[in-house]
Amino acid sequence: ASSDGAGSERTLAIVKPDGVWSNHAEEIKKIVLASGFSILQEKTVQLDEESAASFYSEHSKKKFFRSLVQYMISGPVLVMVLEKENAIADWRMLIGPTDSNKAKITHPRSIRTMCGTDAEKNCVHGSDSDQSAQREISFFFSSETPGGTVMGHDEL
């Protein structure tokens, strides 16, 4: 859009199944907007095993991979494209460290402290680089790789 500033950046955020279940999606969206992000696109999707495994394929050799995939398909997720200057790092900062138990100690005001449980069930996702952000945004929002079954779709 023409309003995109020269320094603006996009990232992919996900409210994972535990965050949706525990009714934190609206609260997280309020934090997103209050922190200066624009929500360019959003949808609620139910991932299947294949799409969840593909989304997290970088972790396919890790011990926690199977469990991660089962967690990610355990219910619908809210997927959002966020935009602001420095969006990738700023969103990662807001969500806090991967392990929600550690976040509770070191980052008490983080989103993972608010709604995460442990090293796996950590409530939210954020792209970790510009390359990941581009891949992940296409994964969910390009028509060729729909990335799960759409449960709801808000046009913003």
Total site size for ligand RTP, rule CB under 6 A = 10
Dihedral angle sign, alpha carbons of residues 111, 112, 114, 116: positive
- Candidates 125, 133, 139, 147; binder of ligand RTP (CB under 6 A) is 125
Query: 30 or 59: whose CB is closer to Mg ion?
Result: 59
Query: 4 or 106: whose CB is closer to ligand RTP?
Result: 106
Query: 4 or 60: whose CB is closer to ligand RTP?
Result: 60
State whether residue 58 is helix, strand or coil.
helix
Site residues for ligand RTP, window 95-124 (CB under 6 A)?
98, 119-120, 122
The C-alpha atoms of residue 120 and residue 100 are separated, in whole angstroms, by 8
Sort 21 into a burial class: Cβ within 10 Å, 0-12 / 13-18 / 19+: middle
State in angstroms the smallest separation of the CB of 90 from ligand RTP.
14
